[in-house]
A and B are shown apart, each in its own frame.
Chain A
Amino acid sequence: GAGVSQSPRYKVAKRGQDVALRCDPISGHVSLFWYQQALGQGPEFLTYFQNEAQLDKSGLPSDRFFAERPEGSVSTLKIQRTQQEDSAVYLCASSSWDRGFYGYTFGSGTRLTVV
């Protein structure tokens, strides 16, 4: 597609439930990032992939968060045993070889609400 696609658009999870959030980057884009955005705050970095390699996961808040990109295209962010503090918008961004120098393309995000 022409842009970065994220699904689902909205997700309501009961506390303790596992969730999986999907990101379809622009075809051929090498770099893929996940960000977490709490209400009223700027996005915060979670993790970075270059093709299928996860090169930086320093922003993942706990070991309940796990991301993968097995074939270097689609990526999934998984959150196990969700907690209320996980409620946020999860954004995915991708870029080509330039590592975002000419700008990243972001998806519209998945809004996760943990009840």
Chain B
Amino acid sequence: DAKTTQPNSMESNEEEPVHLPCNHSTISGTDYIHWYRQLPSQGPEYVIHGLTSNVNNRMASLAIAEDRKSSTLILHRATLRDAAVYYCILHGSSNTGKLIFGQGTTLQVKP
């Protein structure tokens, strides 16, 4: 399974944008890039996914590098409720769909 690399932790101020990076240099052509986040004492929550093009939804935006070896999750205006662990995961279309979680990035949001 292809691996992802993320910083252990990041800090942001409330109301400011946050860019969470992820490296996935061994990504295969059929792997989709998925992001989940996990708030304290809760299960992970799906955020967004993409293949090649940048994606937007109500929660966040996903910017994917042209060579697909890295991506960035963008929270446009961080709130205190966005404090969580963010996981970048490669989801292969050919496997059972199991998710391989890394350590993720712990995002702290300061008021």
A residues adjacent to B (C-beta < 8 A)? 4, 31, 33, 35, 41-45, 48, 50, 55-56, 59, 91, 93, 95, 99-109
* Chain B residue, CB-CB nearest to A45: B98
Interchain CB contact (< 8 A) of B98 among A33, A41, A108: A33
Dominant secondary structure at the B interface: loop
Cross-chain pairs A/B with CB under 8 angstroms, 8 sampled: A42-B103, A93-B99, A99-B96, A100-B97, A104-B97, A104-B99, A106-B43, A109-B43
Interchain CB contact (< 8 A) of A56 among B36, B85, B96, B102: B96
Residues in A whose Cβ lies below 8 Å from that of B101: 35, 42-44
B46 & A103 in contact (Cβ 8 Å cutoff): yes
B44 & A95 in contact (Cβ 8 Å cutoff): no
Q: How far is the CB of B55 from chain A (nearest CB, A)?
A: 12
